[in-house]
Amino acid sequence: MILFLEQLLNGLQYGVMLFLLAAGLTLIFGIMGVINLAHGSLYMIGAYAGTLAAMQTGSFWLGVPVALIAAALTGLVVEAVVIRRLYARDHLDQVLATFGLILFFNQSIILLFGRQPMFTQLPELFSGAVEVIPGLPYPSYRLFIIAVGLLVALGLYLIINRTRIGMLVRAGSTNREMVRALGVDIRLLYTLVFGLGALLAGLAGFLAGPVLAVQVGMGEQILLSTFVVVVIGGVGSIKGAFVAGISLGVIDTMLRAFLPGLLRQVMNGPEADALGVGISSMGIYLLMALVLLVRPKGLFAAGS
Amino acid sequence: MKKLLTAASLLALTTLPSLAEPLKIGVITTLSGPAGYLGEQVRDGLQLAIDQEGGKLGGVDVELVVEDDGLKPGNGLQIADKFLNEEGIKLITGIIFSNVAGATVPEVVENDAIYISPNAAPSSLAGAGCNKNYFVVSWQNDSLHEATGAAAKALGYKKVVALAPNYQAGKDAIAGFKREFGGDVTEIYTQLEQTDFAPEMAQIRAAAPDAVFQFHPGGMGIAFLKQYVQAGLSKDVPMIVSEPSADGVILGAVGEAAVGLKATTHWNADFDNDANKAMVTAWAAKHPDKPLTTYGQQAYDVGLLIASALKKTGGIDDLDAFRAALKEADFASTRGDFKFGQNQHPVQDWYMVDIVAGSDGKPVWVTKEKLRDDVGDVYAAECKM
């Protein structure tokens, strides 16, 4: 039971990380119609900038604004210089250009910082473990990540549903042409949305730093799962990104944790391990296929 | 007259190198992505051996042609084809990962070219799949982890949880560990691109073993170690690893949390032999901000091996003579004892190291004891050459 609870927390934590990345990606895709493969690069830039600031100043918390600003600024520049030229183009051109951006950013990081991963440290406040229930010590930093993710989700919900900007965002993801026809400065909206997406990616990257490795290519490792979240949740829907992110995080973790053990009860060891690991690594893709079969536009597709 | 002579000899000096084309050595290695530093170590280690001899190996001018495989077997194969067919390269080295080696090495050695491995040596190429054109300078994959199994046994552990990624080298790792350990082993397989190990941490806690053995090279190892410490497991369950899971770069990124780990290795920077001292000093002078890892050392030894053979043959036009010269392994390895077994994989010694806080606070390896003396690998007997 304790093991199950612990794995549930692990799944939740993985889920909110996926959500932070997917939220930006789904807005950019839904509202601007752009497939942004370089989203992972913004995650990496947030991680590098924030970690560097945290190391130089000795304070983890100063890293947070630096990570956010660096990622958002990079996002704004990328939008103005590259993405803006792609709105009218087809998806293949967008994929090509943003893939080029991945190579560009990875190589820039290698030139600036080298190939060796950066040293990162937990903030003093969250370096220990908390006994969530008796007998289950859980790293407090992971609880902190969960809390931040849920807060961001709440904040986004309020912005999207309660503000004028949010109204435009919702309108934009439902019918772009109509918003433009009504005289809204869609270009400014695009820039804002892209900046916001970049900011969230930067936050996710910085938060991931002390748990994972801050290194070149770290964004691409999580990008594929993020796209799965976007597709399952429905393109353009923050709510979808949240629900899909959390469920994928939990399902993926549970499959990895328990499937090999369950299979071992009905077949012998090595075969069960091989099959279990195989199925659990396919798990989220199988789920995506199933969801698309029932709801081809995703769970909460905007405009459906 | 004297001036004229000087001028003429200077002219001769500048034109000479272009007359004799340097011998090209193809390096297929992983330079991009999270594992990029591994390939960087191999490239720099090999280059260091060449620089030590002023641009030569064994008196022959050599030139490295380096290409990035991006950790993709398909890329490795493509680069090998290009090296062999377009650039006429007959001597190739550099591959880090066993999955890339598995796809690429057969293509090289079956086309009358020599491949010398500075790292990966999967079991599939060590036994019945061995080849006279295939040499390994590092170790056979299993033997890395057999040493760790022997260490775990020597330390008196009875029940161990073993974790490794679900690919050839990961399976070799756990098989090797079990072979020498002999105790109770719970196996957990992870995925090759996995970054979050929280589910595995919970499983380890639930199993409550005497110790944990894990094999996660490069960035995976950093994430694993960090999360192991953060989960509070390092206080209760000691961890023992093979050298790729605790290299200098990983230790640098994890920091003092890595102190207290136990590891096994075939080489350490504190070894007391002349070849090693020369390499360590030269590396520190050339790359003051990069730690020298076993990857760099293995590539440096590849350089020394090639030099020893070229010294005898003067070139590789006579492939049979070059191959025979390689097989003699007539060089002073930075690790001490070294010779080739029947399958042209190393027969060497293995050591246990403690990871302690160094003078600057960063964790370093300190050699503790010799675990195994002059051992080859279990596949050698199956190799018929």
How many domains does chain B contain in total?
A: 2
**Is B335 a domain residue?**
yes
Residues A208-223 pLDDT 10s: 999 888 989 899 888 9
Query: In this complex, is the C-beta atom of B166 within 8 Å of any C-beta atom belonging to chain A?
Result: yes
Residue B116 and residue B163 in one domain: no
Backbone phi, then psi, for A262, in 5-degree steps? -65, -45
> A299 to chain B, minimum CA–CA distance in Å?
26
| pLDDT of the residue at B10 | 52
Q: Hey, is the C-beta of B296 within 8 angstroms of any chain A C-beta? A: no
3-state SS assignment for residue A212: coil
Instruction: Give the model confidence (pLDDT) of B282-322 as tens digits.
Output: 999 999 989 999 999 999 999 999 999 999 999 999 999 99
Q: Is residue B240 part of a domain?
A: yes
Verify that B373 and B258 share a domain, yes or no. yes
B-chain residues near A226 (CB < 8 A): none
Q: Is there a contact between A253 and B199 if contact means CB atoms under 8 Å apart?
A: yes
Name the least confident of A62-66, B61-65, B219-223, B338-342.
Answer: B219-223
pLDDT at residue A302 in the model: 61
B72 in contact with chain A, both atoms CB, cutoff 8 A: no
In the predicted model, what is the mean pLDDT of residues B324-349? 95
Same-domain pairing of B257 and B372 = yes
Q: Determine the residue among A115, A119, A221 to mutate to test chain B binding: the one whose Cβ has the most chain B Cβ atoms within 10 Å.
A: A115
Same domain, yes or no, for B149 and B39? Answer: no
Residue at A303 is within a domain: no
Q: Does A300 reside within a domain? A: no
Query: 95-134 in B: which are within 8 Å (CB) of A?
Result: none
From chain A, the residues in CB contact with B219 under 8 A are 117, 212-213, 215, 218
- How high is the pLDDT of residue A304? 47
Q: What is the pLDDT of residues A110-159, one digit of tens each?
A: 999 988 888 888 888 888 888 888 878 889 999 999 999 999 999 999 99
Answer whether residue A62 is part of any domain. yes
Q: For position B16, what pLDDT does the model report?
A: 46
What are A52's two structure tokens? 């560097």
Whole-structure pTM value: 0.83
Looking at the structure, do residues B175 and B247 belong to the same domain, yes or no?
yes
3-state secondary structure chain B: CHHHHHHHHHHHHHHHHHHCCCEEEEEEECCCCCCHHHHHHHHHHHHHHHHHCCCEECCEEEEEEEEECCCCHHHHHHHHHHHHHHCCCCEEECCCCHHHHHHHHHHHHCCCCEEEECCCCCHHHCCCCCCCCEEECCCCHHHHHHHHHHHHHHCCCCEEEEEEECCHHHHHHHHHHHHHHCCEEEEEEECCCCCCCHHHHHHHHHHCCCEEEECCCCHHHHHHHHHHHHCCHHHHCCEEEEHHHHCHHHHHHHHHHHCCCEEEECCCCCCCCHHHHHHHHHHHHHCCCCCCCHHHHHHHHHHHHHHHHHHHHCCCCCHHHHHHHHHHCCCCECCECCEECCCCCEEEEEEEEEEEECCCCCEEEEEEEEEEEEECCCCHHHCCC
Mean pLDDT of chain A: 89
Number of domains comprising chain A: 1
Asked whether residue A273 is domain-assigned, the answer is: yes
What is the C-alpha to C-alpha distance for residues A245 and B269, in angstroms, rounded to an integer?
46
For chain B, what is the mean pLDDT?
Answer: 91
Q: Using the beta-carbon criterion (under 8 Å), do A260 and B199 form an inter-chain contact? A: no
Q: At what angle do helices A269-294 and A218-233 cross, to 10 degrees?
A: 50
Question: What's the rounded Cα separation, in Å, for the pair A37 and A55?
Answer: 29
Has residue B59 got a pLDDT over 50? yes
Specify whether B259 is located in the same domain as B358: yes
Q: Domain span at residue A285?
A: 2-294
- The domain in which residue B90 lies consists of 20-139+271-340
Are B32 and B128 in a shared domain? Answer: yes
pLDDT digits (tens, 9 = 90+) for A3-38: 889 899 999 999 999 999 999 999 888 888 888 999
Residues of B (169-208) whose Cβ lies below 8 Å from A: 187-189, 191, 193, 195-196, 198-200, 202-203, 205-206
pLDDT at position B8 is 54
Complex ipTM tops 0.85: no
Pairing state of beta strands B91-93 and B60-68? unpaired
User: Once rounded to an integer, what is the mean pLDDT over residues B378-382?
Assistant: 93
Contact B32 A106 (CB under 8 A): yes
**Set of chain B residues whose Cβ sits within 8 Å of the Cβ of A129:** 230-232
Distances (CA, A) of A220 to A9, A110, A216, B76: 24, 15, 9, 20
Do residue B135 and residue B152 come from a single domain?
no
| Nearest CB to A7 within list B189, B195, B199 | B199
